[in-house]
Amino acid sequence: MILWILLLLLILVVFGFGFAVQALWWVAAVLLVLWIAGFAMRGRGGGRRYGRSRG
């Protein structure tokens, strides 16, 4: 009986880990697209100016 409970807990942990890894892959893909889009937008609009303007 204890062996079955341990086996079910192991299955739940592995399933949870697999789901978390899959979710992290989706988050990484979205961030990559946003990062590339940021480079494209910055290329069109010119460079950003950091700091305060003097004048």
**Which percentage of the chain shows pLDDT scores above 90?**
27
Residue 42 contacts residue 48 (beta carbons within 8 Å):
yes
Is the pLDDT score of 40 beyond 90? no
pLDDT at residue 6, as a whole number: 92
Is the pLDDT score of 1 beyond 60? yes
**Mean predicted confidence (pLDDT) in 36-51:** 71
**Mean predicted confidence (pLDDT) in 27-31:** 94
Report the alpha-carbon distance of residue 16 to residue 29 in Å, rounded. 20
Report the alpha-carbon distance of residue 14 to residue 24 in Å, rounded. 15
Residues 5-24 have pLDDT tens digits of: 999 998 888 888 888 889 99
